[in-house]
């Protein structure tokens, strides 16, 4: 069948009726339509267990599957209502389609097109989900930082080229920093010419992808592009799968706060920068809090820069909020599809705690809101200065205005004429604006004329209403009594009375304009309608806003002195006795100001308060029953111990859930500011962080394409100490690691260089020093670095430069423990030579230098090369460092005596943080000895004693064995040594001649002839083999020469193509693509 034949085949049609259909129905639904339960009752043996072993295996398999799904309970610190945006990192080698994928996803979510995405890009993905996309550049530092904050990783793979080295490096980094969710995306599938090759490539890539992550990992295919974008249907499928992902909190992020910075500003004084360009900078960073709550006193670490303290942390309005109406609906409307990407120059409005910044793109605008923006741009003074220099018009028809200079002053009627004259002179010289308190319109200096004309028209329309108030010159006397009462009830400033004249800045406009407030109280705003007073009318709103040292009077507080008895009772209450706080005869509570000044009542929460009161009554009743009924106490105690019998993980989940509810109830009544002071800024809040004393290079060399992270550090993690880890050299790293060679380690938020020493734990719990790491086995490593909790994973690199073509992840491991010192010992052999031997006692020299050293090793076990064991006894006086030793047998003068000892080794206190964000080039750090020799073209120094040479030993000639004569007399004749003297002439047997018989001579001649023939054949066969061998070697040498010539030609052709490609890229001002395929 032709594989390109797309003709549709006839689909299979199942039976709807007939004998076969009825047979299948009986098989599915039972005999004569009976149910499964009825069939079990009718024929129980059919549903019984046939094999107990098979049933046991089935149950065990079921339990194993359930147990695999169980994981340790982790506390999720994210806000359920407003969680922080999930971070999605898009990673892949260069020129595989990362930027295009981000553009298509942003277009899908927001219906907006972004030309050049830089930095974090936040979008609204649903009613309860926000996503932040970051592109991971082909930089090892950026790959490490993004792996620490990413919740989901999209691995973009070029299907035509295959897996590249950067993909596997990033996967190994992810595994050591928590391993978030990973989704693979295959691109460039449209470059395949045949379907068979495409299908085989998909299968092979999926098999390799599953082998690296897990079997069943999701892999998406982007088949092609139309107009520079991926197909809409494929992007829709990918976005759907992203939207249903459930993210489990990782251990490190769940115990530390962190902020992925999406905007950074330099607020250093320009004058300081002008005086010294290298002056330390003061910056402001913005971003969403993630992880645990961020406290003001926390120490933060900027990867690539260092540790710093925060000067201030404040919560800002969310720039990318959730939809206001989050009810059940199918999809978001266009207004709710928000996009926030400040580093990508998308969105011209930025909020801050001290202002709002607008970026003008220079395009033409015709909307009313655009005209307001143009007016704001053309203002010569700030809004604060305009409000400070504005004027107040008491009545819409008044001719003079009152200057509003931080406080609103009201002119008295008897001084109105004088006050108007003064205001005319001031207003003629000062061209300030005016405020109409009835129309509440703010006018700038440029709009004074237009505002005055509009007010004149308004005064003509409303002239009848206020005609009597303006024309009546003596009408003010009628309200003299009311004004006297108001003046008497006016608040008294005790601080002013005690300490003299003092400004009223604390109360501002509210206290000085109390009469206006009382008149406008009837026209209350919508925000004041939520509350009402329970007791007598007072000025509680002012009391709650300012200090209570000021005393306020009300008409109901006036004392009636007509009754003497009532006056006496009131005077009695002014004196305090011991029962004041507990006697019910006193109406006032000394600890409750609400009895004196009143309290607020929440109208909306009236129903809720009743329910809470009923609930509190029920709780009190339950507590009383618990105290009175001992049976209830036993039941509650038993229920506590029942948790142990139930599922452990379920109990842990319930405990975590209960603690979360308690925390929510505790912080329920607090404002965000109070909660931030106690708990910190919780996850999901958009914060503004001010940091001082930062190096100027951080701003000068800032790259928006690299992730900028603020990682919170716990108090105990800011110190340095020795860390012991379990480490294993990566199987793809070419060379083994050497002790005391510098190694770059990514641990926690930090990236630093240190010098580890490797060791292995023996059976006797001794940490034995290793010069090199084992080839395929774990070992211990100890290095000097920041204190980090146990079970924290890390990745190690010998270099982070992009020039290395091989696999850059050198080793991986996990933290085991922390301590000030670790006992690591190194094997040391001390060698000595005997200079005097007396039976089993020998005197040894050359092993020690002084008698004191010998005294430390008295009783130590020693041995010779031949295996004779001994012991150090005592130091001798003759030669320095000599000692007397005893052995289990007599040793020789040629024996070498050695002592095995263990020498303590401590790691170097070397800690060098990686500061790549302060440089405009790659960070290098300390180099290894091999790198220095290679750079400077130095040879390895040769040690003659370390060379392997042939050892020539003299043959030892032993003296003949001498047996004493007395012993020989006792030995049997067979054991007596026979000493034959050397004869001058041969004996008779040697001199006897051998004469062969005739038959023997013939046989000997025949054997000699046969031997000659055999030797001749063997010689001919050897010559033939030698000739064939020479021909074979000649042919192989010719083939090898031809092979080298072809390889040389291929190398020349490749070098020529690489040079042409490099010239083309330089002309096009592009970066050459670095493809490093795994060997």
Angle between helices 630-645 and 648-666 (to 10 degrees): 120
If you ran DSSP here, which 8-state letter would residue 782 be given? Answer: E
Q: Which region among 127-136, 258-267, 451-460, 699-708 has the lowest average model confidence (pLDDT)?
A: 451-460
Query: Is the model's pLDDT at 345 over the cut of 80?
Result: no
Lowest mean pLDDT among 254-268, 649-663, 708-722: 649-663
Of 389, 405, 516, 402, the residue nearest 443 (C-alpha): 389
What is the helix (H) or strand (E) element at residue 1043, kind and residue range?
helix 998-1067
User: Is a pLDDT exceeding 60 seen at residue 123?
Assistant: yes
pLDDT at residue 106 in the model? 92
What is the 3-state secondary structure of 72-126? CCCCCCCCCCCCCCEEEEEECCCCCCHHHHHHHHHHHHHCCCCCCCCCCEEEECC
Three-state secondary structure string covering 189-236:
HHHCCCHHHHHHHHHHHHHHHHHHCCCCCCEEECCCEECCEECHHHHH
Q: What is the dihedral of CA 825, 831, 836, 837, to 10 degrees?
A: 70
- pLDDT tens column, 903-919: 999 999 999 999 999 98
pLDDT exceeds cutoff 50 at 464: no
Query: Per-residue pLDDT for 118 more than 70?
Result: yes
Report in angstroms the alpha-carbon separations of 881 from 430, 827, 848, 874: 103, 21, 4, 10
492-536, pLDDT tens digit by residue?
Answer: 565 566 655 444 444 343 434 444 444 444 444 333 333 344 343
- Chain mean position to CA 97: 26
Q: How confident is the model at residue 198 (pLDDT cuts 50, 70, 90)?
A: very high
Q: What are phi and psi of 156, to 5 degrees?
A: -90, 125
Looking at residue 461, its pLDDT comes to 44
What is residue 75's predicted lDDT score, i.e. its pLDDT?
A: 78
Global pTM value: 0.62
pLDDT at 986: 80
Whole-number pLDDT of residue 49: 78
Which tokens belong to 442? 């703010």
Kindly tell me if the per-residue pLDDT of 938 is higher than 70.
Answer: yes
Phi and psi at residue 970, to the nearest 5°? -85, -15
450 pLDDT more than 70: no
The torsion of the CA quartet 773, 776, 780, 781, rounded to 10 degrees, works out to 40
C-alpha span between 171 and 179 (Å, rounded):
8
Average pLDDT over residues 819-824: 86
Give the relative orientation of helices 165-176 and 140-149 as an angle to the nearest 10 degrees: 40
At residue 612, does pLDDT exceed 70? no
Give residue 284's pLDDT band: very low, low, confident or very high (50, 70, 90).
Answer: very high
More confident residue, 37 or 746: 746
Residue 698 has pLDDT above 80, yes or no: yes
- Quickly state the pLDDT bin for 44 (edges 50, 70, 90): confident
For residue 483, CA distances in Å to 478, 554, 777, 789 come to 10, 15, 95, 72
Q: Which residue has the higher pLDDT, 148 or 962?
A: 148
User: Could you tell me if 349 and 358 are in contact, meaning their C-beta atoms sit under 8 angstroms apart?
Assistant: yes
What average pLDDT does this structure show over 219-247? 90
Token pair of 177 as six digits: 């920093």
pLDDT tops 50 at residue 417: no
Range in 140-149, 274-283, 530-539, 871-880 the model is least confident about: 530-539
Where residue 951 falls among pLDDT bands split at 50, 70, 90? confident
Question: Average pLDDT of 190-217?
Answer: 91
Tell me the percentage of the chain whose pLDDT exceeds 90: 38
Both tokens assigned to 674: 């109070």
pLDDT tens digit string along 92-104? 998 899 999 999 9
Closest CA to 516 of 431, 605, 429, 435: 435
The b-or-e profile of 284-311 (16+ CB within 10 A means b, else e) is: bbbbbbbbbbbbeebebbbbbbbbeebe
φ/ψ region of 881 (left if φ > 0, alpha if ψ in -120 to 50, else beta) reads: left
Q: What is the mean pLDDT of residues 453-482?
A: 49
pLDDT over threshold 50, residue 574: yes
- Between 899 and 11, whose confidence is greater? 899
What pLDDT does residue 383 have?
A: 58
Does residue 954 carry a pLDDT above 80? yes
Confidence of residue 991 (pLDDT cuts 50, 70, 90): confident
Question: What does the mean pLDDT of the chain come to?
Answer: 76
CA 803 to CA 921: how far, in whole Å?
13
**pLDDT at 130 > cutoff 50:** yes
The pLDDT score that the predictor gives to residue 511 is 38
- The bridge status of strand 181-187 relative to strand 152-158 is parallel
CB 912 within 8 A of CB 926: yes
Which position has the higher pLDDT, 922 or 1007?
A: 1007
Backbone angles phi, psi at 478, to 5 degrees: -70, -25
- Does 1043 score more than 80 pLDDT? yes
Q: Which residues contact 907 (CB under 8 A, 6 or more apart)?
A: 722, 740, 755, 756, 757, 782, 783, 784
User: Average pLDDT in the 266-271 region?
Assistant: 90
Q: What does the pLDDT read at residue 6?
A: 54
Distance CA 288, CA 286 (A): 7
Which is higher by pLDDT, 633 or 193? 193
**Strands, E, within 470-553: which ranges?**
531-533
% of the chain residues with pLDDT over 70: 69
Written as one string, the DSSP assignment of 879-944 is STT-EEEEESS---TT--EEEEEEEEE------EE--GGG-SS----SPPHHHHHHHHT-PPPP-G
Residue 546's pLDDT is: 40
Q: How many angstroms separate the Cα of 253 from the Cα of each of 301, 674, 683, 793, 1048? A: 14, 25, 11, 13, 54
């Amino acid at each position: 069948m032709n594989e390109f034949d797309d003709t549709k085949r006839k689909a299979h049609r199942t039976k709807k009726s007939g004998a076969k259909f009825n047979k299948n129905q009986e098989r599915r639904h039972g005999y004569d339509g009976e149910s499964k339960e009825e069939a079990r009752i009718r024929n129980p043996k059919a549903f019984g267990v046939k094999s107990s072993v098979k049933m046991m295996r089935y149950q065990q398999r079921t339990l194993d599957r359930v147990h695999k799904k169980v994981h340790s309970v982790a506390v999720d610190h994210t806000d359920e209502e407003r969680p922080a945006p999930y971070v999605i990192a898009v990673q892949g080698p260069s020129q595989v389609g990362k930027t295009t994928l981000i553009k298509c996803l942003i277009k899908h979510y927001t219906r907006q097109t972004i030309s050049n995405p830089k930095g974090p890009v936040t979008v609204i993905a649903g009613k309860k989900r926000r996503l932040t996309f970051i592109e991971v550049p082909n930089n090892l530092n950026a790959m490490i930082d993004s792996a620490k904050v990413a919740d989901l990783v999209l691995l973009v793979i070029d299907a035509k080229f295959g897996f590249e080295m950067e993909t596997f490096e990033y996967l190994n980094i992810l595994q050591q920093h928590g391993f978030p969710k990973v989704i693979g995306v295959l691109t460039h599938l449209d470059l395949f010419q045949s379907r068979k090759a495409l299908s085989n490539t998909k299968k092979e890539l999926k098999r390799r992808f599953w082998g690296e992550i897990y079997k069943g990992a999701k892999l998406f295919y982007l088949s092609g592009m139309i107009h520079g974008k991926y197909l809409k249907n494929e992007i829709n499928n990918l976005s759907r799968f992203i939207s249903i992902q459930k993210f489990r909190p990782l251990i490190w992020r769940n115990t530390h706060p962190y902020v992925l910075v999406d905007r950074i500003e330099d607020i250093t004084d320009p004058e300081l920068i002008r005086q010294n360009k290298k002056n330390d900078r003061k910056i402001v960073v913005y971003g969403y809090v993630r992880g645990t709550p961020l406290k003001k006193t926390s120490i933060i670490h900027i990867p690539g820069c260092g540790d710093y303290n925060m000067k201030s942390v404040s919560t800002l309005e969310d720039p990318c909020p959730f939809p206001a109406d989050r009810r059940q609906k199918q999809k978001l409307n266009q207004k709710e599809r928000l996009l926030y990407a400040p580093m990508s120059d998308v969105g011209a409005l930025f909020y801050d705690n001290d202002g709002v910044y607008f970026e003008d793109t220079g395009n033409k605008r015709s909307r009313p809101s655009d005209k307001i923006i143009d007016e704001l741009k053309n203002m010569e003074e700030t809004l604060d200065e305009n409000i400070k220099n504005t004027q107040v018009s008491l009545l819409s028809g008044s001719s003079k205005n009152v200057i509003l200079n931080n406080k609103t002053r009201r002119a008295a009627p008897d001084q109105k004429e004088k006050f108007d004259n003064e205001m005319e002179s001031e207003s003629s010289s000062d061209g300030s604006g005016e405020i109409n308190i009835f129309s509440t319109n703010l006018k700038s200096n440029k709009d004074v004329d237009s505002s005055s004309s509009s007010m004149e028209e308004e005064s003509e329309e409303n002239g009848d209403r206020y005609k009597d108030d303006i024309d009546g010159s003596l009408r003010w006397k009628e309200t003299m009594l009311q004004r006297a009462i108001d003046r008497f009830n006016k608040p008294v400033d005790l601080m002013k009375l005690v300490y003299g004249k003092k400004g009223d800045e604390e109360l501002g406009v509210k206290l000085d304009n109390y009469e206006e407030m009382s008149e406008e109280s009837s026209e209350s705003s919508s925000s004041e309608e939520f509350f009402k007073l329970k007791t007598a009318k007072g000025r509680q709103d002012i009391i709650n806003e300012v200090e209570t040292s000021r005393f306020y009077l009300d008409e109901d507080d006036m004392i009636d002195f007509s009754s003497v008895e009532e006056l006496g009772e009131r005077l009695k209450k002014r004196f305090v006795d011991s029962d004041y706080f507990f006697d019910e005869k006193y109406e006032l509570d000394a600890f409750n100001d609400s009895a004196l000044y009143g309290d607020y009542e929440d109208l909306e929460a009236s129903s809720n308060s009743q329910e809470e009161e009923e609930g509190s009554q029920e709780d009190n009743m339950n507590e009383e029953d618990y105290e009175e009924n001992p049976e209830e106490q036993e039941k509650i105690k038993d229920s506590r111990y029942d948790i142990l019998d139930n599922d452990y993980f379920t109990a842990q989940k319930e405990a975590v859930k209960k603690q979360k509810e308690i925390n929510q109830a505790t912080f329920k009544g607090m404002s965000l500011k109070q909660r931030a002071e106690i708990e910190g800024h919780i996850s999901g809040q958009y914060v503004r962080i001010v940091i001082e004393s930062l190096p100027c290079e951080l701003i000068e060399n800032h790259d928006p394409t690299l992730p900028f992270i603020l990682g919170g550090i716990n108090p105990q993690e800011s110190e340095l100490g020795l860390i012991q880890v379990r480490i294993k050299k990566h199987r793809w790293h070419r060379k083994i690691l050497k002790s005391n060679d510098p190694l770059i380690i990514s641990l926690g938020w930090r990236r630093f260089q240190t010098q580890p020493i490797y060791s292995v734990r023996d059976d006797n719990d001794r940490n034995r020093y290793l010069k090199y790491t084992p080839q395929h086995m774990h070992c211990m490593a100890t290095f000097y670095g920041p204190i980090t909790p146990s079970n924290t994973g890390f990745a190690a690199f010998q270099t982070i430069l992009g020039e290395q073509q091989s696999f850059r992840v050198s080793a991986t491991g996990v933290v085991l423990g922390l301590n000030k010192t670790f006992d690591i010992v190194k094997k040391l052999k001390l060698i000595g030579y005997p200079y005097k031997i007396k039976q089993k006692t020998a005197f040894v020299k050359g092993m020690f230098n002084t008698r004191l050293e010998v005294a430390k090793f008295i009783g130590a076990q020693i041995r010779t090369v031949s295996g004779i064991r001994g012991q150090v006894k005592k130091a001798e006086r003759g030669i320095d460092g000599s000692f007397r030793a005893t052995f289990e047998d007599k040793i020789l003068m040629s024996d070498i005596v050695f002592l095995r000892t263990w020498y303590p080794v401590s790691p170097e206190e070397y800690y060098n943080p990686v500061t790549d964000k302060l440089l405009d080039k790659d960070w290098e750090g300390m180099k290894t000895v091999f790198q220095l020799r290679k750079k400077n073209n130095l040879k390895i120094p040769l040690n003659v004693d370390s060379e392997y040479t042939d050892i020539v030993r003299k043959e030892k000639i032993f003296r003949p064995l001498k047996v004493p004569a007395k012993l020989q007399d006792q030995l049997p004749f067979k054991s007596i040594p026979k000493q034959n003297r050397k004869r001058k002439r041969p004996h008779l047997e040697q001199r006897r001649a051998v004469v062969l018989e005739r038959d023997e001579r013939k046989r000997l001649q025949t054997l000699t002839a046969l031997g000659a023939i055999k030797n001749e054949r063997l010689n001919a066969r050897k010559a033939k083999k030698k000739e064939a061998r020479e021909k074979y070697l000649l042919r192989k040498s010719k083939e090898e020469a031809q092979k080298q010539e072809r390889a040389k030609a291929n190398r020349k052709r490749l070098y020529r193509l690489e040079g042409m490609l490099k010239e083309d890229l330089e002309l096009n001002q592009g970066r050459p693509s670095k493809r490093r395929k795994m060997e």
